[in-house]
Structure 1
Amino acid sequence: MRRRALFYISAGLLFLLLSGCSWLYQAGQPQSPQNGSDLTGADMELSSFEFTNQDEEVVTNEDLEGNYVLADMIFTTCPTVCNTMTPNMLSLQQDMKAEGMDNVNIVSFTVDPENDDPEALTAYGEKYGVDFDNWDFLTGYSDEDIKKLSKESFKSVVDKNTGDNNITHATGFFLIDPDGNVIRKYDGLENDTKPILEDLKRVTGN
């Protein structure tokens, strides 16, 4: 019995070590289901900020008000989860465009602002074929700034002290309403984005 218990404990620890950046980074909270977690009762809102996008234009939280915003966190040299998250977000962007959902913008915050300047973010977006018309990749801040925004806005951890090339960050897509409230969270690692699209249509009234 003792050997079996030790086996399961060891297996669990091995799983956490191997999962790296793909593990959910919100301690004590379950992974969001495919069709979204309702955060309306969590009293979460997007913090004030003044950052720079891939075109070296200043973008503030006030610029995002009036439309719904789908936000996530990435970095251009991410060796793991971002390679799934960004294509999934792109799929949503393309599907939303096909559905005429012009009241939803996309924002990706880099968690590696020291290396991800506007040029690097432009190259990253172009690599995946994103449409920059309604998708801002943001930088122009310090590590402490993005740690604070992630914690205050999304209740998520950003941590570079992983011992490898990964950076701990949220793997969810967060929906922000026109008033700046964070109201939904979706699994950014779920390749089947159709349920997310349907939920977005329902919530945003499209």
Structure 2
Amino acid sequence: MIDLGRQLAGLRRRVLLALVMLATLLLFAGCEDKGPYPLELSDYQTAVLGLDFKTLPARGLVDQKGEAFSFANYWADGKPVMMTEIYTNCPMPDMCPMLMAKVARAQTILAEQGVKPQDYRVLILSMDPENDPPEAMLSYAQVHGLRMENVTLVTGNKQTLDAVMKKLEVGIRMAPDGELIHSMRTYVMDAEGKIAAGFRQSGWKPEELATRLKGQL
């Protein structure tokens, strides 16, 4: 005798799985690299191109010391910034870990060219603040070789950081296994908090990032 209830339950599970897979594919399609590195300003949507980063929401955000963070105060001293986003449990070696290593290498290149840490700043935002407490962010940055003299690591309120990621054109979705599926953007910001250059994912070269940052000094 056919168990109709069991068949319907199985059908619902298959439909749900198909919908999850479709959503994942669409996210990757939207985040796929389709252009050269680095991004040209014409590649940006008008909204992010004209965004004043000093006005980004900061409610409930903290740095690696657990102290309150605001984007407005961060740019108060008028220094250029290289900024990107990561999550510390990222299992993909060619994504967050590689990105952090490249930012660290860009710091080294700038130092070799005589640029002092106090001349610019490095800002790293968490994409998974619920699992990235300040001490985890600090440990992750240190493990990947960042020079901490001018680095600020931001975590804290998930709702706030989700809103920030949306404004930065960073797509994030939680997979069924708990892994974050995400795109990545690395920006060079001028002293006024406006985009000067940008890079997709992690396929760019540290030399390019260093050159773009140095151009803002």
Name the TM-score class by shorter chain.
0.7 to 0.9
1:121 matches 2:132: no
* Deviation readout 1:68-109 (Å, 9 max, x if unpaired): 111111011001111211111111122122221543211111
Say yes or no: does 1:45 pair with 2:52.
yes
Please tell me whether the aligned partners of residues 57 and 160 of structure 2 are also in contact (alpha carbons under 8 angstroms).
Answer: no
CA shift in 2, pair 1:25/1:173, >3 Å: farther
Q: CA RMSD in A?
A: 2.9
Q: Is the Cα contact below 8 Å between 1:68 and 1:175 reproduced in 2?
A: yes
Q: Give ranges in structure 1 of 5+ residues lacking alignment.
A: 1-12
Residue in structure 2 matched with residue 5 of structure 1 by the alignment: none
Structure-to-structure mapping, 1:19-30, within 5 angstroms: 23=28, 26=31
Aligned equivalent of 2:90, options 54, 57, 78? 78
Structure-1-length-normalised TM-score: 0.75
Q: Give the count of matched residue pairs.
A: 183
1:50-73 CA-partner distances (Å, limit 9, x unpaired): 521112222211222111111111
- 4+ residue runs of structure 1 moved beyond 6 angstroms? none
More relative contact order in 1 or in 2 (CA 8 Å, sep 6+)?
Answer: 1
Q: Distance in 2 between matches of 1:198 and 1:92?
A: 9
**Overall identity of the aligned pairs, in %:** 18
* 1:74 aligned partner, one-letter code: I
Using the TM superposition, give the Cα deviation of residue 26 of structure 1 relative to its aligned residue in structure 2, in angstroms.
Answer: 4.4
TM-score (norm. length: structure 2): 0.72
Larger helix share, 1 or 2: 2
Contact 2:185 2:200 in 1 (8 A): yes
Q: Summarize the alignment of residues 100-119 of structure 1 with structure 2, pairs less than 5 Å apart.
A: 100=115, 102-119=118-135
SS state at 2:132 partner: coil
Q: Are residue 190 (structure 1) and residue 203 (structure 2) matched?
A: yes
Q: Which amino acid aligns with 1:71?
A: M
